[in-house]
Amino acid sequence: MTGLRPALEGWVPPLIVVGGPTATGKTGFALDAAVALQGAGIPAAIVNADAMQLYRGMEIGTAKTPVDERREVPHLLFDELEVTARASVAAYQQRARSEIERLQSAGVVPFLVGGSGLYLESVIHDLHFPGSDPDIRAQVIRELDEHGPEPLLSELAGRAPAEAERLRGGDPRRLIRSIEVLRLTGEPARSALPERPRPWRPYTLIVIDFDDRALLAQRIRGRAEQMWASGLAGETDRLLDRGLRGSPTASKAIGYAQAMEFLDGTMTASEAVDQISRATVKLTKRQRTWFRRYPDATRLDGASLSPDSGRALAATIIADHVVWRIHGGAGPSAAAQGTAGTSTPFSALFHPGSRGTAGTGDRTAPDGPGPGPGAISPHSAASEADPDDEARPDGQGTESRMDP
């Protein structure tokens, strides 16, 4: 592998998407694969798909890979926003696609990595998000403050009764956004996202989870303890000086919300760690539901991952490039073939819908049946996840929440 020095001109690098619940080893897996590729002369880069890792200064609580541990692999779309900023999936979609296009045109393999389901979905499928009007939004906020939610819910019920009922008693930000979109476009927010969006371009989706849920819970608990020991409270204190408390999104991230309560004296350190762990486990259940909706995804057990797992993926990409070279660069590479919008495998090792020991080629039956009648497709799930085009505020430091 290390002796290969391919000429990349004209080769279409594959888009590799690595998703799944938090704390399952996605970043390490992608980084191992990227390093192996670079050792073979094929450049690679990590593109962030974690809503909370967009924020500058949120390092410990988001488990962001330190710069000195990135192993000379470019990391893009990290540290893009101040903690006071509102994270927008529409803005993220534009930035991520622009970076991926730039990388692929330069012969660089992009790894889109993260657990923010709607963020990943916005990139790989042709989702369109309604715009925003600050004047309309300000008016809706005033109405909510003066009259409460009932008049707004009644207005929404006139066009989307099920959506109004779903938002009753929920996050007022989502109600504000739904009314804003309704007044701006004349259509309810949920209908602004198509149920079956067109694909953007071919990709390979790898979903990493733990078959042993108890083992993942233990891992999450250990990580919460490590974050606290590494100075999460101190990091949060510094971010408070930069406006964290007033942030519409970052202030509610799992880890930072609990650290603020600790700093306020309303929660002990032990209670904060317990709450971080419990909230993160709850988050993984929602993420698991989201990523279960991709029947063509390759599914790997995070407990079995090792550096060899990433190198195995790299080997399939290298083989794809070698095949392209053997054919004299004629026609698209395997990375560019297949039905756009479905997860395209590179070899039997990473077979769509399979679950096995990563890096060994062992495969078992797919992990359960695909979506049945009445199941939410990943596309309709994106519509239901959040009518707002901003990051969900209660996302774990490493991934934002997406309701199925």
pLDDT at 286 over 70: yes
pLDDT-based confidence at residue 343 (cuts at 50, 70, 90): low
Give the largest Cα separation in the chain, rounded.
70
Query: Is 192's pLDDT higher than 80?
Result: no
Cα-based angle 393, 395, 398 (whole degrees, multiple of 5)? 135
Q: pLDDT confidence of 383, banded at 50, 70, 90?
A: very low
Angle at CA 353, nearest 5°, toward 402 and 338? 100
Q: What's the mean per-residue pLDDT of the chain?
A: 80
- Give the pLDDT of residue 336: 45
pLDDT-above-70 percentage for the chain: 75
Question: What pTM, to 2 d.p., does this model score?
Answer: 0.77
Residue bearing tokens 């997406």: 402
pLDDT band at 380 (very low <50, low <70, confident <90, very high): very low
CATH 3.40.50.300 domain range(s) in the chain: 16-127+198-211+289-385
pLDDT average, residue stretch 317-334: 63
Considering the chain, tell me which residue range(s) the CATH 1.10.20 domain(s) occupy: 134-192
* CA-wise closest residue to 79 among 112, 101, 56, 95: 56
As a whole number of angstroms, the distance between CA 49 and CA 27 comes to 11
pLDDT (0 to 100) of residue 8: 53
Q: Which band of pLDDT confidence, cut at 50, 70 and 90, is reported for residue 352?
A: very low
Q: What is the pLDDT of residue 194?
A: 59
| Residue range 171-186: mean pLDDT, rounded | 88
Which pLDDT value is given to residue 392?
42
In this prediction, residue 344 carries a pLDDT of: 54
Higher pLDDT, 61 or 87: 61
Question: Which overall architecture, per CATH, does domain 134-192 show?
Answer: Orthogonal Bundle (1.10)
**CATH code for the part of the protein at 16-127+198-211+289-385:** 3.40.50.300
pLDDT the model gives residue 375: 27
117-124 and 89-105 helices, crossing angle to 10°: 50
pLDDT of amino acid 195: 63
39, 67, 109, 174, 331 from 311: Cα distances, Å: 10, 21, 14, 42, 26
Contact 114, 89 (CB under 8 A): no
Region of 329 please: left (phi>0), alpha (psi -120 to 50) or beta.
left
Among 258, 295, 290, 318, which residue's Cα sits nearest to residue 401? 290
User: Mean of the pLDDT values across residues 28-44?
Assistant: 93
- What single DSSP character describes residue 289? H
Write b or e for each residue in 274-283: b if 16 or more Cβ atoms lie within 10 A of its Cβ, otherwise e: ebbbbbbbeb
Give the residue with greater pLDDT, 334 vs 218: 218
- Lowest mean per-residue pLDDT among 55-64, 137-146, 183-192, 196-205: 183-192
Instruction: Please report the pLDDT score of residue 197 as a whole number.
Output: 62
The pLDDT confidence band at residue 268, using thresholds 50, 70 and 90, is: very high
pLDDT of 159: 87
Residue 338's pLDDT band (boundaries 50, 70, 90)? very low
Write the pLDDT tens digit of every residue in 195-245. 666 789 999 999 999 999 999 999 999 999 999 999 999 999 999 999 999
Share of residues in the chain with pLDDT > 90 (%): 55
